[in-house]
């Protein structure tokens, strides 16, 4: 039970697990309360102070001699994106699903020996131990996992190309956490982005020892750029950044992620607001069962102020009494238990005085409408991710989550996802192919393994395919 009092210790309102309490009548106090009021003109606009950026260019950050391009508002798009994704289950799970089916069951090296009459590749498996080891290594798997995560979450990934001591070979590749990367403004002479500053301090500006400046490979032909640097003898023991981007947004610096349209349309807000609203409603509004109205005079008689040393003792006594009332009204063991109150009739008017009024609250709240809205938001977010809602067990917009159309529909939707993943898969393979080509390994094609669900009448539950 929680009660609110006036300055004289008279209870004004209270609420508990299942009941809502309010006092009636006029409290008797030693002095009339003083209330300050202000008058305002209807429709008068409220004046707010707006902070104006002091920097002449709020979209860039000067970093020594390098001018960096801010990533989103206040240079904190990755943090804002992570916060949005983290509170929306369907977006978080959908992005993970897209990453997983894009990567399939890993990659393997092969050579194209020809094509069948349908135009399908005829592949010969490459058994060279060095190449097989590279493709199956943890380093490559972690690179692809991290790069695909950032590619789908943020629309851009940053790949670290690590050279050996004499610069003759690429020793390895690594997916840098895009959250900690900011890129420089393009050189006005050639339009090339030349630097990436990596720091765990972003969006705060890092200080000495808290950042690393890494040169960026030319996006037009990164392999040729790397070979030119080798000829110029500037690759020894160095590292470079290859920018992995989804170019659909047309942004030249930081690409927007595929789910961004659902954010701009407001569907991500709806998807997060509905569960927050339901949580608040269940915790408060729809749990109130009773409205109990108690006359002020009751407390003056039962808890006379003169019987207590101070106001606090009187408040504690009132709260203990109200807790007993709460226990008598609530709980399954009290479902048929009565409560007795007493009152008198005014001899002149014949009306009841000092009467308790206990009213059962009629809950007109219906959560079904909110769940329909939530289902629509979830479906719209999955459409933005190019996921058929049936694959995730969800219905179409305007329906409930029971709109599943069967296993065959899910299988076909999954096959469509794999077919659409070709371009993203090639983007993931580009840094690997640069690594193989720079190291003198030619004529090798990298392909993905996929496990595809099939019908039971085929005699097996799954089949492995190559893409």
Q: What pLDDT sits at residue 326?
A: 78
Q: Is 279 within a domain?
A: no
Tell me: do 128 and 234 sit in the same domain. Answer: yes
H/E element holding 222? helix 222-231
Tell me: do 315 and 263 sit in the same domain. Answer: no
Q: How far apart are the C-alpha atoms of 162 and 140, rounded to whole Å?
A: 13
Tell me: do 295 and 238 sit in the same domain. Answer: no
Q: Is 383 within a domain?
A: no
Q: How far apart are the C-alpha atoms of 158 and 150, rounded to whole Å?
A: 8
Which parts of the chain register pLDDT below 50? 29-58, 396-401, 456-457
Tell me: do 87 and 229 sit in the same domain. Answer: yes
Q: How far apart are the C-alpha atoms of 86 and 93, rounded to whole Å?
A: 10
- The whole-model pTM stands at 0.69
| CA diameter of the chain | 111
Burial bucket for residue 183 (CB in 10 Å: 0-12, 13-18, 19+): buried
Tell me: do 152 and 213 sit in the same domain. Answer: yes
How many domains, in total, are found in the chain?
2
Q: How far apart are the C-alpha atoms of 197 and 206, rounded to whole Å?
A: 10
- List phi, psi (to 5°) of 202: -60, 140
Burial 298-337 (b: 16+ CB within 10 A, else e): bbeeebeeeebeeeeebbeebbeebeebbeebbeeeeeee
Tell me: do 186 and 143 sit in the same domain. Answer: yes
Domain end residue (candidates: 312, 340, 360): 360
Q: Give per-residue pLDDT as tens, 52-102.
A: 333 344 488 887 788 999 999 899 999 999 999 999 989 999 999 999 999
Q: Is 420 within a domain?
A: no
Domain end residue (candidates: 321, 342, 360): 360
Q: What pLDDT sits at residue 188?
A: 86
Residue from 154, 216, 142 nearest 180 by CA: 154
Q: Across-strand partners of 357?
A: 293
Tell me: do 216 and 72 sit in the same domain. Answer: yes
- List phi, psi (to 5°) of 208: -55, 130
Rg value, the chain, Cα: 34
Q: How far apart are the C-alpha atoms of 15 and 24, rounded to whole Å?
A: 15
CA end-to-end span of the chain: 64
Place of tokens 């709020």: 58
**Residues ≥6 apart with Cβ < 8 Å to 411:** 452, 453, 454, 455
Domain end residue (candidates: 360, 379, 397): 360
Q: How far apart are the C-alpha atoms of 373 and 356, rounded to whole Å?
A: 41
Domain residue limits at 326: 2-29+290-360
Q: Give per-residue pLDDT as tens, 3-49.
A: 666 656 666 566 565 565 666 555 554 443 333 333 333 344 333 23
Tell me: do 205 and 319 sit in the same domain. Answer: no
Tell me: do 246 and 109 sit in the same domain. Answer: yes
């Amino acid at each position: 039970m929680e009660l609110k009092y006036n300055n004289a210790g008279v209870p004004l309102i209270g609420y508990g697990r299942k009941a809502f309490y309010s006092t009636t009548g006029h409290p008797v106090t030693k002095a009339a309360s003083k209330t300050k009021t202000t008058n305002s003109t209807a429709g008068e606009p409220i004046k707010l102070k707006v902070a104006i950026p002091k920097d002449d260019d709020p979209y860039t950050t000067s970093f020594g001699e390098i001018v960096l391009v801010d990533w989103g508002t206040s240079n904190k798009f990755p943090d804002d994106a992570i916060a949005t994704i983290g509170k929306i289950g369907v977006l978080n799970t959908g992005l993970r699903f897209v990453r997983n089916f894009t990567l399939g069951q890993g990659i393997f090296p092969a050579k194209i020996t020809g094509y069948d009459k349908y135009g399908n590749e005829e592949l010969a498996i490459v058994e060279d131990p060095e190449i097989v080891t590279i493709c199956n290594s943890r380093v490559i798997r972690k690179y692809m996992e991290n790069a695909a995560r950032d590619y789908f979450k943020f629309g851009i990934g940053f790949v670290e190309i690590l050279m050996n001591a004499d610069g003759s070979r690429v020793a390895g590749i690594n997916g840098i956490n895009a959250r900690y990367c900011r890129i420089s403004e393009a050189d006005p002479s050639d339009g090339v982005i030349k630097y990436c500053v990596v720091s765990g301090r972003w969006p705060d500006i890092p200080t000495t020892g808290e950042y690393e400046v890494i040169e960026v490979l030319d996006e037009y032909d990164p392999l040729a750029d790397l070979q030119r640097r080798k000829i110029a003898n500037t690759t020894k023991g160095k590292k470079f950044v290859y920018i992995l981007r989804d170019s659909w947004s047309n942004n030249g610096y930081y690409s927007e992620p595929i789910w961004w349209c659902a954010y701009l349309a407001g569907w991500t807000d709806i998807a997060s607001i509905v569960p927050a609203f339901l949580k608040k409603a269940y915790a408060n509004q729809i749990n109130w069962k009773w409205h109990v109205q108690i006359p002020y005079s009751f407390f003056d008689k039962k808890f006379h102020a003169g019987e207590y040393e101070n106001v606090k003792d009187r408040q504690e006594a009132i709260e203990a009494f109200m807790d007993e009332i709460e226990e008598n009204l609530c709980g399954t063991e009290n479902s048929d238990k009565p409560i007795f109150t007493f009152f008198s009739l005014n001899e002149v008017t014949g009306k009841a005085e000092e009467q308790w009024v206990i009213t059962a609250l009629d809950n007109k709240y219906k959560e079904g409408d909110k769940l329909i809205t939530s289902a629509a938001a979830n479906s719209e977010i999955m459409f933005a991710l190019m996921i058929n809602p049936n694959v995730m067990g969800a219905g179409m917009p305007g329906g409930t989550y029971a709109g599943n159309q069967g296993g065959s529909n899910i299988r076909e939707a999954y096959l469509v996802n794999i077919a659409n993943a070709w371009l993203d898969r090639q983007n993931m393979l580009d840094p690997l192919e640069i690594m193989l080509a720079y190291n003198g390994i030619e004529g090798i094609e990298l392909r993905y393994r996929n496990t595809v669900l099939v019908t039971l009448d085929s005699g097996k539950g799954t089949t492995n395919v190559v893409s």
